[in-house]
Homo-oligomer: A and B are copies of this chain.
């Protein structure tokens, strides 16, 4: 017997009818002989509706009260799912994050997990019942907290790690992770398996299906993830560094298990939520770059890429460019302008209409030809690269905002990613 943690997102729990579909899937898993613990998000748009109510009474509500409000959403979905299972003849007990033993810091709205003591979940599952746990929420002492964006995935992985689950299944409204966003790159194919490192890079650079924190947690605690659709029985995408945990009937043959580790580029991600900040005309003196970096890193949440060029009209000066989250751009520029007398640069520009495309693959480690192939392909398509950054297994470029999608298609083709096994399996209307 294995222990399976299943996480269902709001799109899989939009109404009581989808609640029944999810319950039938849980029952099927039970009847196949597995123990099951389930993590749920709020139904459909409930969280947004609650946030709208809050917005109606206060533009800037206290974070503690906002968490109190939003956590009502999972409470509703988990209780209804427990009732639905009960009606199908299966014992089920629902638990708030706090009841499930998920302890967090008291940073309301973006609390971090400090520990998980899933005693009640373990007892419930051992008694033969299905344990249903509210995602997204935890407890800090006697107070109720939320984990922020993607929090339900994080809850599911934390629970799976703490109970020693064999797999954490992340159910969504698409069949799994794809080589690119199928809404943009129409011949994108579903990935049967990804290493945790590859999944991390894709999640960090724009892939929307998996949240970075949950992948980090899965990697740290060796929790195999299986990202799949709650609307079909097709196998999804496994995220794991241990291919032996993938079931034998998954469409990765023994041969492909070997080759799968060698893929040059596994997939790509794109995003529009970046801006380019350029500091023009910085004196080329010791410490001037460090002073600029210091101002920026005090202001923004993440600096992704840095570029350096000589200022066009004056070879004694240097320009620095940064890729920043678009929400941070103006704040960083203001901070720099405030420090301008001390830093001595000419001026600052912020370009918001840029985007980023990243290619990711473990095989890039041993393949020095990747950057050349990328520049050739983009250049042939008339796409200018503003900034570039690399990790061992990733290469990201910042391009004009209106060329992001085209760059994604060009690179998908240039790195031989188009599906060779028929069309990408994406459900109508979805693709997130």
Contacts and interface: CB of A to CB of B under 8 A. Distances in A.
Given A75-B71, A75-B75, A65 B53 contact: no
A54 B83 CA distance: 7
Contacts of A69: 75-76, 79-80, 83
Interface string A284-327: 00000000000000000000000000000000000000000000
A378 to B, nearest CB: 48
A125 interface: no
Given A16-B53, A57-B19, A80-B57, A86 B62 contact: yes
Number of copies: 2
Interface in A89-142: 92-94, 96, 99, 120, 142
A130 to B, nearest CB: 12
Contact of A142 (B53, B78, B87, B99): B99
A30 interface: no
Contacts of A144: 96
A163 interface: no
A284 to B, nearest CB: 51
Contact of A76 (B50, B58, B96): B50
A269 B99 CA distance: 44
A80 B58 CA distance: 9
Interface string A35-64: 000000000000000100110111101101
Contacts of A54: 79-80, 83
A80 B57 CA distance: 7
A16 B51 CA distance: 13
A64 B142 CA distance: 21
Contact of A65 (B50, B73, B83, B120): B83
A72 interface: yes
Interface in A336-369: none
Given A76-B53, A142-B99, A87 B58 contact: yes
A57 B75 contact: no
A84 interface: yes
A76 B72 contact: yes
Contacts of A71: 75
A82 interface: yes
8 contacts: A16-B57, A58-B86, A58-B87, A61-B83, A61-B87, A69-B83, A72-B72, A72-B76
Interface of A: 16, 19-20, 50, 53-54, 56-59, 61-62, 64-66, 68-69, 71-73, 75-76, 78-80, 82-84, 86-87, 92-94, 96, 99, 120, 142-144
